[in-house]
Structure 1
Amino acid sequence: MENTSTSTVSTASAGVRYGLLVGIASAILSLILYATNLEQSPVRWVSMVVLAGGIFLAHQFFKQHNNGFMSYGQGLGIGAVLGAVSGLIGGIYMFVYTQFINPDFLTIALNKARTDMEARGNLSDEQIEQGLQMSAKFMDGPFLYLGAVLGTLFFAFLLALVITAFTKHKRPEFE
């Protein structure tokens, strides 16, 4: 007789596994974008494709190990865990990058922001300075790293809301 049962995988383990993969892939992508000065180009949105692809693959992995079934709630749970783990890796990467690889990150980002504000031409010098001071507060210290974690978690959850609608496969009630 053929053994058709597969081992079950929890939503947390699927989310952690693919969260690690997505986090590492996103960190590598981010490093490439910074090295090629494309961090402000539309190419940076490729990280959202990586995140969405990771959620989709995590759903497929979960279903493969759970007899092809996954509820909507399980799909959202996988996406949330994946986003939290990936965001944590992103926050750690951002810390290492800004503290050791590119300690001038804040200065470069603020200079770019100043140039962009001046190019618009609709702000006074005082308004530009106020904006830069406010930006510096949020780009320095724990706000930057916490923002990376929470931002990734937020976008992963939004993507999971949509992706799960297509990947869910409920177990029949009368099985």
Structure 2
Amino acid sequence: MENKITPPWLKGLLISLILIVIGLIIYFAGQAQNKSLGWIQFCIMIAAIIWACTNYAKQMQGNVTFGNVFAHGFKVTAAIAAITAVYVFLAFKFIYPEMIDASIEEARKNMEAKGNMSDDQIKQGLDMMRKFFMPFAIGGMLIMSAILGAIASLIGAAVAKKNPNPTLEQ
């Protein structure tokens, strides 16, 4: 009897849905600007990818290598990143478009607090931020997901139980 292996895209989908639900809870609780709550999502993502790696090794009955487990974890990461990128786009366009204005207003306050920019420079910087907000939000999310996913995949591959049985090909 062959073991059924859960595909990386399915694990990525489930993890993404959990992260999206947590993000929506944070938003509707009025805590969207709370940076520490945002880090909770990253910690959950790391833990979930490590779980995905160890679960894969378990489903393969330990007949895996470090590279196999890492590759599985990074495929899960790619699925999470792709699904989350679509969510970020839809969220900022339709679910909570006012978050763009809130982020720009926070940036304005930070620029004014530093005091090293003129009003024209601040206005120009904020106009540029508004113009490129969506590409930077999606790009930043993709880069952060890739970095954290690689770290989590490395950890998952390191802690996964491995007992590879090389087969002789004739």
**TM-score between both structures, scaled by the size of structure 2:** 0.82
Asked if residue 55 in structure 1 is aligned to residue 49 in structure 2, the reply is yes
Asked if residue 103 in structure 1 is aligned to residue 92 in structure 2, the reply is no
Q: Distance in 1 between matches of 2:102 and 2:41?
A: 22
Q: Distance in 2 between matches of 1:103 and 1:39?
A: 12
Asked if residue 157 in structure 1 is aligned to residue 153 in structure 2, the reply is no
Q: 2:5 aligns with which of 9, 14, 31?
A: 9
Q: Distance in 2 between matches of 1:120 and 1:170?
A: 56
Over residues 52-84 of structure 1, what are the superposed CA-to-partner deviations in whole Å (9 max), with x where a residue is unaligned? 121122122212221123321122212211111
Question: By how many angstroms is 1:86 displaced?
Answer: 0.9
Over residues 21-60 of structure 1, what are the superposed CA-to-partner deviations in whole Å (9 max), with x where a residue is unaligned? 1111111111122222323321210111211121122122
* RMSD, aligned CA: 2.5
Map 1:19-98 to 2 at 5 A: 19-41=12-34, 42-98=36-92
8 A Cα contact 1:6 1:65, kept in partner: no
8 A Cα contact 1:114 1:132, kept in partner: yes
1:166/1:131 Cα in 2 relative to 1: closer, same or farther (>3 Å)? farther
Q: Aligned with 2:32: secondary structure? A: coil
8 A Cα contact 1:59 1:75, kept in partner: yes
1:97/1:143 Cα in 2 relative to 1: closer, same or farther (>3 Å)? same
8 A Cα contact 1:87 1:151, kept in partner: no
Question: By how many angstroms is 1:17 displaced?
Answer: 2.1
Q: How many corresponding residue pairs?
A: 167
Question: By how many angstroms is 1:173 displaced?
Answer: 5.4
Question: By how many angstroms is 1:112 displaced?
Answer: 1.4
Question: By how many angstroms is 1:170 displaced?
Answer: 4.3
Gaps of 5+ in 2: none
Q: Distance in 2 between matches of 1:174 and 1:98?
A: 51
Q: Distance in 2 between matches of 1:132 and 1:170?
A: 55
The percent of aligned pairs where both chains have the same amino acid is: 26
1:130/1:21 Cα in 2 relative to 1: closer, same or farther (>3 Å)? same
**TM-score between both structures, scaled by the size of structure 1:** 0.80
The match for 2:127 is 133
Question: By how many angstroms is 1:157 displaced?
Answer: 1.4
